[in-house]
Amino acid sequence: MLKPKKNNALKRMLTYAAIFILLICAAYAVGYKTGFDKGADSASRNRNILLVNAENLLPADYVPQDLVNLYEMRHSFRLASSDIYMAREAYEPMQEMFYAAELENVNGFIVTSAYRSYERQKEIYAESEPGYAQTPGASEHQTGLCFDVTAMNSADGFENTEQYKWLRANAYKYGFIQRYPANKSHITGISYEPWHYRYVGVDAAEYIYRNNITLEEYLK
């Protein structure tokens, strides 16, 4: 009768050991995931957390999926031209954001640029003064997840308009960040651009906004 008892005890010990190992693995996985996310939602962990800069280039054949023509879908904002495209996943929250601004009597937004192909960036780079345009592959516009904006009353600079002030205070609520803030060019490699906004998802955008950091710092 002693032998079966020993076998049962051994089985229990092996079962407990297996459960313990599974718990450790689960805890490690959760910890790893939390450290990677930094508050970002599931969408943010994919394409819209893509870091694009002089050190992280997009390939020439990179084209975002589901591009939409903003001229055909514009509401609560105007366009500088009729051939501006944007990834749908960024367009929809942008439209929601501009509509919210309109409800607060802040309107007159003009989107001047969004998606830009590698070839188009190559042309702009060739035509621009040195240091003015980003090299092909280094422009966030190729992601389709950002936009440049101005306002009808921006003669004194967009950063001095009520539209800019509204975006600065509210863009994160819709998943957008001011990609190239003031006093951060030593990190981003790009001078201050109050008109350039990038979609990263609501959770990531709020984390970046609350902590006054850049996308480079967030993704460290």
Is the dihedral angle over the CA atoms 184, 186, 191, 196 positive or is it negative?
negative
One-letter amino acid of 13: M
Residue 144 in contact with residue 85, Cβ under 8 Å?
yes
Q: Is 72 a catalytic residue?
A: no
Backbone phi and psi for residue 138, each to the nearest 5 degrees, phi listed first: -100, 0
- In order of 74, 107, 149, 198, the CA distances from 80 in angstroms are 12, 15, 9, 18
Cβ contact 190:215 at 8 Å: no
- Strand partners of residue 161: none
CA distance 103 to 105: 5
Of 204, 213, 215, nearest to 39 by C-alpha is 204
Tokens describing residue 80: 């500088």
Catalytic residue among 96, 162, 193, 206: 193
The rounded distance, in Å, linking the Cα atoms of 110 and 157 is: 14
Cβ atoms 115, 64 nearer than 8 A: yes
Instruction: Catalogue the active-site residues.
Output: 193
